[in-house]
Amino acid sequence: MTLKIHQDHSRFKQIVRGKIKANLRKYVQKGEMLGKKGKDAISIPIPFIDIPRFKYGHKEQGGVGQGDGEVGQQLGPGAVEPGEGQQAGQGEGDHALEVDVTLDELAQILGEELQLPNIERRQNEKIVTQKIRYTGINTTGPESLRHFKRTYKQALRRQIAAGTYDPNRPIIVPMREDRRYRSYKLQNLPETNAVIIYMMDVSGSMGDEQKEIVRIESFWLDTWLRHQYKGLESRYIIHDAVAREVDRDTFFHTRESGGTMISSAYKLCRDIILADYPKSAWNIYPFHFSDGDNWSADDTRQCIDMLRNDVLPNVNQFAYGQVESPYGSGQFIKDLREAVGDATNVALSEIADKDAIYASIKDFLGKGR
């Protein structure tokens, strides 16, 4: 048997890649991939990769099934063969085939398409982490790893052998000796670690539209940096006049009113870095998004001082994204540009709308730092 399928497989992947590349700008702007993200992969609808035929729409057709239920009873989701017009929707959209692409591949495609340079790692020290690999079945182990099915099979087997199994009253009681457990091995994986510290202004002037832009953009930043570093942590800071650290979900869904003191966020960011991420072991990426309104010139001055003295010397790159909003003056980016715009590890980007995300990603990641 020749293993020519590998050629066909890579050809398939190449085609998928081509389609994704061709549609990348659309994917980036729409943010439609965010909802389809799994743990390491994302399922992307690829138009026209399957082979069109003269055929019936399944919805039109219906079919014969098997099982209990009254006439009129709904069949549960997933009961009917998937893929054929289950979701309402007409026209070309129906035609798409969902393809799983790993985030790593997606990052590669993003990198090729935007011509992003690989990041020069500031810290090359390897930190070793351990990963669990499940390798087999054992008769001992922690309860949390008990293999339910194997255990019951073993018990059923024993009961039948002992003649205590009654098919009319099929009750199976596993005993100590029946229990089966997954066994595992620990593997050492070397890692280069990096942390992204996201900061966002959630004061009243940042609307849903602006936050959506931040959400989409951060997805791509995450994806790229995760591709570059094996171990990536993320921290989230929201601020209006005061700053606090939150989880990812809160980060994207909080809306406060009140004024804006950006310095509060930078202060917290600095504290987090000092406390948890020694420069010697971590590649550090603070990203800050706001609409460019700050409370006072005085606060802006504080921000710049803090950036110069505490943040920039410690991080790979500091990035500021200014999302246009109808309420903001958009002053902050100008101040930053004037004060630290020349620094090599500062990236500034103005994001007018969703269409601008594509270019903005390049602003942030194009320096390869």
Partner 1 sequence: MPKSLTPRLEALRDEIHGYAKEFGLDFFDTIFEMVSYDEMNMVAAYGGFPTRYPHWRWGMEYEQLAKGYEYGLSKIYELVINNDPCYAYLMESNPEVDQKLVMAHVYGHCDFFKNNFSFRHTNRRMIDDMANHATRVRRWIDKIGVEKVEDFIDRTLSLENLIDQHAPHIRRNPDPKKAEEEVKANERVEGFKVDREYMRGFINPSEFLDSQRKRVEDEKQRAKKFPERPQRDVLLFLLEHAPLEPWESDILAILRDEAYYFAPQGQTKIMNEGWASYWHSTIMTRRALKDDEIIDYADHHSGTMGTRPGAINPYKLGIELWRDIEDRWNKGRFGKEWDECDDLRARRSWDKKLGAGREKIFEVRKHYNDITFIDTFLTPEFAMEQKLFVYGFNDKRNSWEILDREFRKVKSKLLQGLTNFGQPIIEVVDGNHENRAELLLAHKHDGQDLKGDYARETLRNLQSLWRRPVNIVTRYDNKSVMLRFDGTTHSEKKVEL
Choices 58-66, 133-141, 185-193, 273-281; region in contact with partner 1 by CB under 8 A: 58-66
Three-class SS of residue 114? Answer: helix
Kindly state whether residue 148 participates in binding partner 1, applying the rule CB under 8 A.
Answer: no
Distance CA 152, CA 167 (A): 15
Task: Pick out residues in 5-44 that bind partner 1 (CB under 8 A).
Answer: 5, 7-15
**In terms of Cα–Cα distance, which of 121, 126, 133 is closest to 191?**
126
From the CB of 184, what's the least distance to partner 1, in Å?
17
Choices 155-163, 181-189, 213-221, 304-312; region in contact with partner 1 by CB under 8 A: 155-163
Choices 153-161, 234-242, 262-270, 286-294; region in contact with partner 1 by CB under 8 A: 153-161
Kindly state whether residue 54 participates in binding partner 1, applying the rule CB under 8 A.
Answer: yes
From the CB of 201, what's the least distance to partner 1, in Å?
40
**In terms of Cα–Cα distance, which of 299, 320, 324 is closest to 364?**
320
Kindly state whether residue 67 participates in binding partner 1, applying the rule CB under 8 A.
Answer: yes
Do 349 and 319 meet the contact criterion of CB atoms below 8 Å apart? yes
Distance CA 241, CA 205 (A): 13
Question: E strand or H helix at 236, and its extent?
Answer: strand 231-239
Binding flags for partner 1, 98-137, as an x/- string (CB under 8 A): --x-------------------------------------
Q: Which of 24, 80, 137, 343 binds partner 1 (CB under 8 A)?
A: 80
From the CB of 1, what's the least distance to partner 1, in Å?
4
Q: Which of 20, 29, 42, 71 binds partner 1 (CB under 8 A)?
A: 71
Partners of 193 in beta bridges: 231
From the CB of 181, what's the least distance to partner 1, in Å?
18
Buried b (16+ CB within 10 A) or exposed e, 94-131: bebeebebebebbbbbbbebbebeebeebbeeeeeeee
Three-class SS of residue 311? Answer: helix
Q: How many CA atoms lie within 13 A of 98 on its CB side?
A: 11
Residues in contact with partner 1 by CB under 8 A are 1-5, 7-15, 48-49, 51-57, 59-81, 85, 88, 90-92, 94-95, 100, 153, 156-157, 160-161
